[in-house]
């Protein structure tokens, strides 16, 4: 089964070909970072225009790298939300026209479902139930995957997402855009004990996250030391360490309580080197297997969208010309709980 996966939810135009939901035959990612860098953030209008300019070339490239032709494709999958509306529309319209022209089904995939299914792009699939830490520029969620298509949200951020605070703090520290990977790099040279970040106190569900207090504290500390460039590595290291500590804080108890058979981390922030190390330590300590995609499958890519669509296709969940892009599309279960 050959599925073409397309993601244009933000500032990467990505087209991939995936075989049987697990083997990546090609995964083309055309980054727009250089276009947005001078604005210090993603400009939605620029993003959609660039997706339009790039998507056909990305498709040709994905096909030629995989050795697959258009008529070999069994299905076209596309992120239909959440994300930037104009950017999503480019991918969704392109995917629908292509599927219609080829006479194959089109499948809309929720972006977070795509990130989760990136951990299935491997020969041996993770076991169910699977506890997922989904960390991206827009989300920090703890999601239990009972089986394909059945999700339960066990925790989510009350304010900023982890990727968002990494990006914002990095920008204030004078690091280039996008900040997360640069802050990660600078942090390697700093002392994680140099600054203290207390564990945020939350009312209500304790497994939720709150990162805005940590972000404000980091910015205050930087100002208090006179915005000294020499302090950047220590501050980056201490801040990174606090965010990673928070992300993993409730994971051991949730693994126990949910009966999860494995722990998975995904989304752009799963490329963070400290998070990868600490998640590995935690999994060893608790005694569960850990799944984290290779770094290029953590950040946005079309392969994860094709992987997710494979499971929907097996269950007969296909879409048609009515498929629409939705900037706030929530993650919802598409299979019934229980059973096989
Ligand atoms: O999943 P993703 O590519 O796009 C969204 O769906 O949001 O995630 C992008 C986020 C950005 O905030 C980026 O700074 C962050 O992932 N990121 C990282 C690292 N690499 C990417 N954050 C921390 N450390 C990294 N190495
Ligand atoms: Zn993403």
| CA 178 to ligand 1: nearest atom | 14
| Inside any domain, residue 59 | yes
Cα 99 to averaged position of ligand 1 atoms, centre (Å)? 30
Token pair listed for 208: 């939720």
Residues 11 and 40 in one domain: yes
Residues 89 and 198 in one domain: no
| Inside any domain, residue 123 | no
Q: Which pLDDT score is estimated for 338?
A: 84
**Placement of tokens 């994680």 in the chain:** 192
Inter-residue contact 272 to 81 (CB < 8 Å) = no
CA distance linking residue 340 with residue 277, whole number of Å: 34
Residues 229 and 272 in one domain: yes
Residues 211 and 283 in one domain: yes
Token pair listed for 120: 């299935």
User: Across the beta sheet with 12-19, what order do the strands follow?
Assistant: 23-31, 12-19, 2-7, 75-81, 106-110
Residues 46 and 144 in one domain: no
Q: Mark which of 261, 276, 292 sits at the end of a domain.
A: 292
Token pair listed for 326: 């939705």
| CA 179 to ligand 1: nearest atom | 14
Answer yes or no: is the C-beta of 8 below 6 A from any ligand 1 atom.
Answer: no
Answer yes or no: is the C-beta of 83 below 6 A from any ligand 1 atom.
Answer: no
Cα 19 to averaged position of ligand 2 atoms, centre (Å)? 21
Token pair listed for 192: 């994680």
| Inside any domain, residue 30 | yes
**Which residue segment(s) compose the domain that 276 sits in?**
128-292
Q: Which pLDDT score is estimated for 221?
A: 97
Give per-residue pLDDT as tens, 24-70: 999 999 999 999 999 989 999 999 999 999 999 999 999 999 999 99
| Inside any domain, residue 302 | yes
- Residue ranges, the chain, pLDDT below 70: 340
Residues 113 and 165 in one domain: no
| Inside any domain, residue 181 | yes
Q: Which pLDDT score is estimated for 340?
A: 57
Residues 250 and 189 in one domain: yes
| Inside any domain, residue 177 | yes
Residues 222 and 87 in one domain: no
Residues 134 and 279 in one domain: yes
Token pair listed for 329: 């599309």
Residues 281 and 162 in one domain: yes
- Best of 176, 267, 269 for a ligand 1 pocket test (most atoms within 8 Å of beta carbon): 269
The total number of structural domains that make up the chain: 2
Residues 235 and 279 in one domain: yes
| Inside any domain, residue 100 | yes
CA distance linking residue 147 with residue 109, whole number of Å: 16
Q: Which pLDDT score is estimated for 58?
A: 98
CA distance linking residue 252 with residue 259, whole number of Å: 11
CA distance linking residue 220 with residue 265, whole number of Å: 30
Residues 174 and 227 in one domain: yes
Do the bridges between strand 2-7 and strand 12-19 make them parallel or antiparallel, or are there none, so unpaired?
Answer: antiparallel
Q: Whose CA is nearest to atom 14 of ligand 1?
A: 180
- Best of 180, 305, 331 for a ligand 1 pocket test (most atoms within 8 Å of beta carbon): 180
> What does the H/E/C string look like for the chain?
CEEEEEECCCCEEEEEEEECCCEEEEEEEEECHHHHHCCCCCCHHHHHHHHHHHHHHHHHHHHHHHCCCHHHCCEEEEEEECCCHHHHHHHHHHHHHHHHHHCCCEEEEEHHHHHHHHHHCCCCCCCCCEEEEEECCCCEEEEEEEECCEEEEEEEECCCCHHHHHHHHHHHCCCCCCHHHHHHHHHCCCCCCCCCCCCCCCCCCCCCECCHHHHHHHHHHHHHCCCCHHHHHHHHHHHHHHHHHHHHCCHHHHHHHHCCCEEEEECHHHHCHHHHHHHHHHHHHHCCCEECCCHHHHCCCHHHHHHHHHHHHHCCCCECCCCCCCCCCCCCCCCCCCCC
CATH at residue 69: 3.30.420.40
Give per-residue pLDDT as tens, 1-36: 999 999 999 999 999 999 999 999 999 999 999 999
Which residues have CB under 8 Å from 143's CB, separation 6+? 112, 116, 131, 132, 134, 151, 152, 153, 154, 331
Give per-residue pLDDT as tens, 238-253: 999 999 999 999 999 9
Q: How many CB atoms lie within 10 A of CB 193?
A: 10
Token pair listed for 28: 């083309």
| Inside any domain, residue 231 | yes
Q: At what angle do helices 273-286 and 251-258 cross, to 10 degrees?
A: 40
Answer yes or no: is the C-beta of 81 below 6 A from any ligand 1 atom.
Answer: no
Q: Which pLDDT score is estimated for 297?
A: 98
Q: Which pLDDT score is estimated for 316?
A: 97
Evaluate if pTM is beyond 0.75.
yes
């Amino acid at each position: 089964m050959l599925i073409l996966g397309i993601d244009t939810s933000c500032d990467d135009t990505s087209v991939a070909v995936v075989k049987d939901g697990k083997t990546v035959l090609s995964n083309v990612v055309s980054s727009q970072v250089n276009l947005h860098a001078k604005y210090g953030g993603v400009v939605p209008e620029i993003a959609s225009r660039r997706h339009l300019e790039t998507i056909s070339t990305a498709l040709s490239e994905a096909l030629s790298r995989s050795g697959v032709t258009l008529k070999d494709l069994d299905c076209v999958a596309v992120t239909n939300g959440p994300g930037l509306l104009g950017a999503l529309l480019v991918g969704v319209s392109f995917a629908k026209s292509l599927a219609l022209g080829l006479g194959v089904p089109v499948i809309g995939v929720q972006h977070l479902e795509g990130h989760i299914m990136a951990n299935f792009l491997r020969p041996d699939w993770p076991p169910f139930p699977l506890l997922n830490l989904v960390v991206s520029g827009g989300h920090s969620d703890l999601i239990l995957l009972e089986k394909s298509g059945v999700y339960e949200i066990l925790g989510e951020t009350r304010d900023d997402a982890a990727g968002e605070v990494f990006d914002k703090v990095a920008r204030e520290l004078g690091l280039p855009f996008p900040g997360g990977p640069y802050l990660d790099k600078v942090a390697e040279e700093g002392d994680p004990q140099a600054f203290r970040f207390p564990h945020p106190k939350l009312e209500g569900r304790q497994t939720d996250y709150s990162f805005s207090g940590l972000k404000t504290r980091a910015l205050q500390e930087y100002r208090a030391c006179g915005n000294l460039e020499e302090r950047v590595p220590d501050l980056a290291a201490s801040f990174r360490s606090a965010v990673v500590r928070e992300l993993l804080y409730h994971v051991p108890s949730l693994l126990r309580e949910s009966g999860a058979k494995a722990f998975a981390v995904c989304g752009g922030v799963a490329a963070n080197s400290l998070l990868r190390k600490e998640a590995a330590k935690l999994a060893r300590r608790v005694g569960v297997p850990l799944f984290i995609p290779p770094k290029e499958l953590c950040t946005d890519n079309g392969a994860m969208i094709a992987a997710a669509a494979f499971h929907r296709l097996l269950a007969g969940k296909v879409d048609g010309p009515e498929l629409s892009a939705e900037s706030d599309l929530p993650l919802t279960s598409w299979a019934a709980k229980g059973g096989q």
